[in-house]
Structures are given as C-alpha cells and as structure tokens.
Amino acid sequence: MRTRPLKVALLGCGVVGSEVARIMTTHADDLTARIGAPVELAGVAVRRPDRVREGIDPALVTTDATALVKRGDIDVVVEVIGGIEPARTLITTAFEHGASVVSANKALLAQDGAALHAAAEEHGKDLYYEAAVAGAIPLIRPLRESLAGDKINRVMGIVNGTTNFILDKMDSTGAGYQEALDEATALGYAEADPTADVEGFDAAAKAAILAGIAFHTRVRLDDVYREGMTEVTAADFASAKEMGCTIKLLAICERAADGASVTARVHPAMIPLSHPLASVRGAYNAVFVESDAAGQLMFYGPGAGGSPTASAVLGDLVAVCRNRLSDATGPGESAYAALPVSPMGDVVTRYHISLDVADKPGVLAQVATVFAEHGVSIDTVRQQGKDGEASLVVVTHRASDAALTGTVEALRKLDTVRGVASIMRVEGE
C-alpha cells in the first residue's frame, strides 16, 4: 500500500461537487483500500468562495481554477462545473500539466469528445465520464468495456429524468403538458428554464455520447436528430392507451440493417406497455441495449441528483487512481469503425398519425391513396365521426421517415384533411 496520497482537484462544488467531496471524506478508508493509496482533496475551485461549504477545509477553496489545474502535483482533476467553457480549457490544461480527468460534462463530451480524447492520449492520461450520461447508472464502462467483445445494434433509453417525470405524470393523471410541467417545477424536478430538458437538448448530448461508444464511431451533438416533448398532449396519451402503449421521450441510437451507417435521434415516441422502458416511472432513467451475443440488457436507476451523480464520479475516480498507480491508462476513444451518421430521413420505424378530416364518402380512400403513393403501408385505421367531421387515426407498418414526411406533406394538401393533429413514432415492438 502506497502511503503518499493521490491528489485530487475538484472543479465545482455545487450539488454534485459537494457530494463528491463528502463521499471522499466519509468513505476515505474504503477508497484507500480499493485504490491501494489514499486520495487527498488538494483543492476546490469555486465561483463563489463566500458560500459555506460544510466539511470542506476553507484553505482548499480557490476561485482560480486555472492555477489549480496547473499546479503540477495534481493526479486527478474532477470537473463538475458543466458547460463548454471554461471547462474545456481547464480539462486540456489539466492534461498538459500531468493530471487525468474525471468529468460529468455531457454537453462538452458530446461536442468536443474527440478533441478531448486526443488531448488525453497525447499526454498519456485518462479521460473518464461515467457521470455524463444517466447519473448513477453504469453505462459508459459497460458499453466500452463489458460489451467490448460484442456487437451493439441498438441503444434506446430514457436519459432525462425531468421529461420522464412530466410524461409519467401526464400518463398517470391525464394532465396536460403545462400542468405536469408546473408540478415538476414546483417539486424541483424541472428547472426554472426547462428548455434543455423538454426540448431534448440534454438527451441529445447523451445520445451522441452513447452512440459514439456503442458503435465505435464519432457521433457529435450536431449529428443527433432532436424533437422535444412540448407538443405531446393528453389526447396523445389517450391514443397511446388505446394501442396498449405509453409515451416516452426516447434517445435512440441504431446501427442500420446493412451495418454500414448509424443514426441517433431524440423524440417522443409510443412504446408498448410490455416494453421494459414503459415501466420506468417518475424521474428515473433506463437504457435498453440490444447486441448480437448478449441479446437484450437494461440498465436502470437514478439519472440525476447530487448523490447518484457523485457515485458515478467516485467510481471513475477509483478507476483513474488505480490506473495512475499502475502507470497505465484505461481505454480511450474507440472510433475505428468510422461509420457515417445517416440523416433522420433514413430512419425506419412505425408511425401513429392522427388526422382531422371531413366525414364524407371517399375520404378514407383518398387518405389511403396518399399513403400508398408514398410507399407507406397502413397497419390499422380507426375513425370516429361527429357532425360531418371525423378523427382518423392511422398506424403504419415500418417506413422511412422521409416517406412518412412526404406522406404527411401530401395529406396536408388534401381539402378533406382539416389538419394533422399529431404524428408519433411507435418504437420498441
């Protein structure tokens, strides 16, 4: 057992950072035994030094994060400040000055993961970021290490707790979107500005990271198709129920059937109640992985919060410290497959389309003809008429998103189609 401690610099001491510091103290003996050397909190960079930070020696607190990562005696920098800058510069500076990095920064990894991995490799250091995707749930290392001998074909997950809380509330109470969002805000599940969550930006960053690791290829945030969930209505949930489904905001990363390309997308979708993801309630996250040899796997747990996210950070910290002691590094970026990321139009799935139409002879035939002309095969049609108007619900067989988009554009041009009330993809069947 080495007695000289490994020195850790903590960048950020908010909800996650303060939990990391707390667990480092309360679990110090176990961490020492597991790593093979003590770990010492050598500095904590914060924006507001005046805030009381229970359990942290005030002498360790600094506002000069740059000086901290440049010290030269730091073994591991833990970055939990989030955002692109100054996090990116601090991480690269940390590598240049001999430290490995543990980060929880999904936005940065989704945007600049390749450059950061290259910087880590250039300096022979580790870059670990288990906490960047789905909080406490072990995903990055299972995909990167445990499944390294398998071939992953699809990763489909609920990777945003705020939106899952809102959708679950709508499902269980019949509430509309705004009412459910208001409750999520009041309970602290949604931020005052919920845009990043409800518009799918947060989930898209996580999808980019997961797709890149799962398919050994580079997938950036810009490659991920994104649709938020603000348009989902109580009527959509009623339709979903009639089909034996619920609605979830899903991040879906897929290898094309021919294996030559991949896609990554985030959007609300209907999934059958029998699918394991349908039972993920409240603010929980879960990721369903399908691979050649293992078959189907599901990873489930809390996807946010100080303590769960700190659990993932601490797991990385132990791994990186062990690597330091054996003068090794863990696996870096694996992008050898270099598969192109196909546009959304190439995605093939099923669709649930709800139309408001005139209730008169020939309308159903007209609508069916438009589907046929675009090569989209209809699975079921359900019609409910009232006072000369009708609601027509069409569920299709599998078709490309491009074909479905063409179909909907043509439907909108029909005089007898008063409006397209909703289009929802149907996944997980």
For the annotated catalytic residues, the residue numbers are 206
Q: Is 11 annotated as a binding residue?
A: yes
Choice between 38 and 212, CB closer to ligand HSE: 212
Q: Is 17 annotated as a binding residue?
A: yes
Question: Which residues are paired to 382 by β-bridges?
Answer: 393
Q: What does the alpha-carbon distance between residue 152 and residue 165 come to, in Å, rounded to a whole number? A: 28
Pair of tokens at residue 279: 């039972």
Q: How far is CA 288 from CA 67, 158, 207, 209, 398, in A?
A: 42, 9, 13, 15, 20
Which residues are CB-neighbours of 409 under 8 A, at least 6 positions away? none
Choice between 18 and 160, CB closer to ligand HSE: 160
Minimum CB–partner distance for residue 201 and ligand HSE (Å): 10
Minimum CB–partner distance for residue 41 and ligand HSE (Å): 24
Q: Is 12 annotated as a binding residue?
A: yes
Q: In the Cβ-directed half-sphere of 145, how many Cα atoms lie within 13 Å?
A: 11
Instruction: Report the 10 Å Cβ neighbour count for 297.
Output: 18
Choice between 281 and 398, CB closer to ligand HSE: 281
Q: What does the alpha-carbon distance between residue 169 and residue 281 come to, in Å, rounded to a whole number? A: 9
Q: What does the alpha-carbon distance between residue 89 and residue 247 come to, in Å, rounded to a whole number? A: 40
Choice between 200 and 406, CB closer to ligand HSE: 200
Q: What does the alpha-carbon distance between residue 40 and residue 56 come to, in Å, rounded to a whole number? A: 12
Q: Which stretches within 75-136 are classed as H helix?
A: 87-96, 106-122
Instruction: Tell me which residues touch ligand HSE (CB under 6 A).
Output: 160-162, 197, 202, 303-304
Minimum CB–partner distance for residue 263 and ligand HSE (Å): 22
Choice between 31 and 104, CB closer to ligand HSE: 104
Minimum CB–partner distance for residue 116 and ligand HSE (Å): 18
Q: Is 301 annotated as a binding residue?
A: no
Instruction: Report the 10 Å Cβ neighbour count for 186.
Output: 9
Q: Is 106 annotated as a binding residue?
A: yes
Q: Is 14 annotated as a binding residue?
A: yes
Q: What is the DSSP string of 310-328?
A: HHHHHHHHHHHHHHHHTT-
Minimum CB–partner distance for residue 356 and ligand HSE (Å): 34
Pair of tokens at residue 51: 């805030």
| Binding site members | 11-18, 106, 191
| Binding site members for NADP(+) | 11-18
